[in-house]
Amino acid sequence: GAFEPFLERIFGGPVGRATHATGPDAPTWWWFARQYFSGLGLPMVVASLTAVVATVALAVRRRLSAGRVFVLIAFLAFVALFVPWHDFRVHHLLATFPLLAILVAAWLVDLRERRATVARVLTVALVVSSAAYAGVGAAGYADMPRDRAAAWLDDTIGENETIEVYTRHFQDTALPHGATVTHREGEFTACPEYIMLTYRDLLYLDEDTYYRTSSLRGAYVRGLLDGNDSYEPVAEFGPRPPDFVPQRPTPGSLLELLPHGIVPHVDQYADEQELRPNQYTLVLRSTGECSPDRDPPF
């Protein structure tokens, strides 16, 4: 019955996100572009931007209905909320998607009164392209790398064999139910039969990443990949990054964001559990020469 937690959730969250950096430094417009490209697809982004500009122009000339004014104000209010944030995700902007759809539909109706053929062609193009983008994206979840890795381990590992992991959250690892796991925050086994490297572990190999910047851990991961630590790769799942180094859009580069509006499953700076490239999983198996003094820097 206390109001404090409720008020903290409503007002404390937005203020905290505005003052807490959770992503690389980049202009605010770049964060909006990155999330809208990924969430809507490029054709719908272009149509939405055009519709917003056209709606604002009509509002300035006082030729806008009360309903469209309300939708426009609601959209701009949401945008204004996220402008101070350092980083935000697609799910933060979901509430603006139906508002943009209404503005796009109203813009197409206005266009139909002047250029009916153009409006019909654009409508068909938007429906087909958006359906294809959403359909391919949704279908991709039916066959995800982490699911395949967990199934492979479930069929392969023995009852008493151990898997070592460095990313410990359940949503970031491909562990079958009941597997024996070793990590530094739990029961540690010096010589496990298997080691799992996830996409987040590979971020230590990227010298330009804004986090996971430990050179010691990066050298350790590279040594595992090169077979210098009595372990060898036996299975991998998902698209392998070039030389195992994640390739992400340069913060502030609009050109490098374009693939986000064309390919539904792309690399992200956050929510890595959601998309195919971020679920890359590599499983290594012991060669039987492990030293009991082995001490991973995790």
Q: What is the pLDDT of residues 65-105, one digit of tens each?
A: 999 999 999 999 999 988 888 778 888 899 999 999 999 99
Judge whether residue 190 has pLDDT over 90: no
Q: Which residues contact 84 (CB under 8 A, 6 or more apart)?
A: 18
The secondary structure of 65-115, three-state, reads: CHHHHHHHHHHHHHHHHHCCCCCCCHHHHCCHHHHHHHHHHHHHHHHHHHC
The predicted pLDDT at position 224 comes to: 93
Structure tokens at 7: 């008020």
Residues in the chain: 298
Residue 195: its pLDDT value, please?
A: 95
| DSSP string over 206-223 | -TT-SS---HHHHHHHHH
Residue 288 in tokens: 């039987």
Q: Average of pLDDT values for 23-29?
A: 81
Q: Which residues contact residue 163 at a Cβ distance below 8 angstroms, ignoring those fewer than 6 apart?
A: 153, 157, 175, 179, 180, 181, 182, 192, 193, 194, 195, 196
Instruction: Say which residue, 131 or 292, is predicted with more confidence.
Output: 131
Contact predicate 58/113, CB 8 Å: no
Is the pLDDT score of 292 beyond 90? no
For 161, counting Cβ atoms within 10 Å of its Cβ (0-12 exposed, 13-18 middle, 19+ buried), the class is middle
What pLDDT is attached to residue 10?
63
Residue 271 gets the label, from left (phi > 0), alpha (psi -120 to 50) or beta, of left
Return the minimum-mean-pLDDT range out of 130-134, 228-232, 272-276.
272-276
Q: Is the pTM of this model over 0.85?
A: no
165 and 193 Cβ atoms separated by less than 8 Å: no
- CB < 8 Å & 24+ apart, contacts of 291-295: 291/190, 291/191, 291/230, 292/190, 292/191, 293/190, 294/190, 294/191, 294/229, 294/230, 295/190
- What does the pLDDT read at residue 19? 59
Instruction: Determine how β-strand 281-286 pairs with β-strand 231-237.
Output: antiparallel
